[in-house]
């Protein structure tokens, strides 16, 4: 079952583990003490797209669909609400201050063709 909540247009920030490791390296090498950096690619992935990629990988395309927030709350309890909203962060500070850039495959590419296959 690959279900999203509502219309699935809510988006989350993502980062590939290799890009995260690269950011850690650059932050430790070049970051100023006490600085905070978000690790996020510029890709905007909606929950509908994410669930579609997961379903394609699992060969369960017919299992993709929507749940209302009430239905999701019956299944997930209070965890449903955070899954129903967009949760985006920016990696722009890391890009500018550390000359870092996310360059690994996107989460959608990785799910369909990469390490999740």
DSSP state of 87: B
DSSP state of 78: G
Question: What is the phi-psi region of residue 6: left when phi exceeds 0, alpha when psi lies from -120 to 50, beta otherwise?
Answer: left
Answer whether 90's CB lies under 8 Å from 15's CB. Answer: no
Domain ranges across the chain: 2-113
pLDDT by residue, tens only, the chain of 117 residues: 789 999 999 999 999 999 999 999 999 999 999 999 999 999 989 999 999 999 998 888 888 999 999 999 999 999 999 999 999 999 999 999 999 999 999 999 899 887 776
H/E segment holding residue 65: strand 64-67
H/E segment holding residue 67: strand 64-67
Please check whether the domain covering 2-113 is classified as CATH 3.40.1440.60. Answer: no
Q: How far apart are the C-alpha atoms of 103 and 84, rounded to whole Å?
A: 28
């Amino acid at each position: 079952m690959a279900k999203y909540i509502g219309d699935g247009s809510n988006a989350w920030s993502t980062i590939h583990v290799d890009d995260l490791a690269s950011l850690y390296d650059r932050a430790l090498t070049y970051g100023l003490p006490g600085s905070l950096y978000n690790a996020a690619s510029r890709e905007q992935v909606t929950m509908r797209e994410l669930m579609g990629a997961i379903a394609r990988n699992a060969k369960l395309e017919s299992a993709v669909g929507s749940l209302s927030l009430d239905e999701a709350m019956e299944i997930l309890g209070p965890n449903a609400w955070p899954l129903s909203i967009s949760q985006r962060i920016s990696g722009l500070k890391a890009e500018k201050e550390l000359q870092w850039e996310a360059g690994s495959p996107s989460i959608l590419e990785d799910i369909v063709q990469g390490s999740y296959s």
